[in-house]
Structure 1
């Protein structure tokens, strides 16, 4: 087999879709496979054990000696914030799972996740009286983008980085000026990661029904994108350097919020593949818009399938 699928233990498709995406990120895969453990499995702490089991899965996926593998031991090792292992009969949100997995892996081996997926957001307030800069920088592994009322990834990114004027009753207290002043507030990316993960916020709270729903509205995303306009430029960066990224993976959700299925589409550079649990097949990108942008079908009915997470790699 050229590529290996992963068995679904019940509703563990969210795990399978994430692990297949991470495996296809070459530098991250190699980092995991190159990890060595200086003690036996029974001596590993809970975070190291997750990394140990992930390495085993990546090893099987790399060897390509079977049609599909399984995640039984990984699920037993994977501990949530409450200290409980994965319940294979209860589906979890892929973003929630990915965040917890990254948290555990980074605790097991510092830099493992950061080196491939780590970026930095800069929350800034600029005093308009004396141009004083107040800044807080925070690391991130993914960026959540709004979908409601927005039709494209660039439009959503512009909203994400949109500036806000703080004035009148909302003036900002500038400690350098010693008084309240008009100020410009903004959020911007100060460091781009090698692999940029976007979460599309399709799960919303409906104020009319007081229930969470899934949005399948139209939202387009290109195969290649330049993100230079969203990156904070400073003296340590080449001002002429483009931030070109290529779409390398899509995690797709089909169905409703309470009843759905996840699978992955990946770009191997030579061809595109669909990983749907144990089934691996080639994918034609000519169908990308029809399959994953959401919106309406030919009968003007809402589509049930759309992209939920996007992974872009820096060119």
Structure 2
């Protein structure tokens, strides 16, 4: 979690764009919590529960909300916490910052995260990027994460015995490349896009020629 957030912070165009976002007051203010600067462990956040208890130790249930509205509010809060993290990393003279506010609200598949459990970094990155871009969309702002981190790749079928070719573009934010058999990232990317001959039963059916 921390390594992913630090890597996002080090992408200057992304950092600058997110810190410049003004979140309307209707989504609450951004007053730092007292425990933001405490230097202790995350034990109190490791067993986060989805239910809350009032002072009489009775479980309380929030009134039902519109699902889309609730999701939008969650995404906005994720964006706010990312801004807070980036702000501290950029301007604070402290030697540490513990993102407790982020820990409190971040969820995987709608469930609170136990910080003692190992999580997949790629899944975490995708979840954060999606939430931030959805928050920006709600605020009618450009989806900067997709713009800075994303790209397009083309899945091409090039017929061998005829002049026809087929191409389908897909958006991506992350790609996984094999680094074990390559000396550098360039070689890994070259291997990622290397062609593959489809023959026999796997041969591609050319719709224009109506044959394989």
Q: TM-score, normalised by structure 2?
A: 0.71
Map Cα deviations across residues 195-218 of structure 1 (whole Å, 9 max, x no partner): xxxxxxxxxxxxxxxxxxxxxxxx
Which among 136, 144, 157 is matched to residue 125 of structure 1?
157
1:41 aligns with 2:41: no
Larger Rg belongs to:
2
Which residue of structure 1 aligns with residue 87 of structure 2?
Answer: 59
1:211-250 maps to which residues of 2 (within 5 A)?
A: none
In 1, Cα distance between equivalents of 2:11 and 2:101:
22
In 2, Cα distance between equivalents of 1:141 and 1:175:
31
Which residue of structure 2 aligns with residue 72 of structure 1?
Answer: 100
Distance 1:40 1:169, change over 3 A: closer
Q: Which moved more, 1:143-152 or 1:166-175?
A: 143-152
1:167-246 maps to which residues of 2 (within 5 A)?
A: 167-180=199-212
Distance 1:24 1:150, change over 3 A: closer
User: Does structure 1 conserve the Cα–Cα contact (< 8 Å) formed by 2:79 and 2:135?
Assistant: yes
User: Does structure 2 conserve the Cα–Cα contact (< 8 Å) formed by 1:23 and 1:29?
Assistant: yes
Map Cα deviations across residues 9-34 of structure 1 (whole Å, 9 max, x no partner): xxxxxx21111111121110011111
Which among 28, 32, 47 is matched to residue 18 of structure 2?
32
Task: Give SS of 1:172's match.
Answer: coil
Which residue of structure 1 aligns with residue 48 of structure 2?
Answer: none
Gaps of 5+ in 1: 1-14, 181-315
Greater share of residues in strand: 1
Which among 86, 104, 112 is matched to residue 85 of structure 1?
112
In 1, Cα distance between equivalents of 2:111 and 2:154:
34
Gaps of 5+ in 2: 30-69, 138-142
In 1, Cα distance between equivalents of 2:181 and 2:172:
25
Greater share of residues in helix: 2
- After superposing on structure 2, the runs of 4+ consecutive aligned residues of structure 1 that deviate more than 6 Å are none
Post-superposition shift, 1:149? 3.9
User: How many equivalent residue pairs?
Assistant: 165
For the aligned residue pairs, the C-alpha RMSD in angstroms reads 2.0
Post-superposition shift, 1:123? 0.6
1:99 aligns with 2:117: no
In 1, Cα distance between equivalents of 2:78 and 2:170:
25
Task: Give SS of 2:118's match.
Answer: coil
1:17 aligns with 2:45: no
Q: TM-score, normalised by structure 1?
A: 0.49
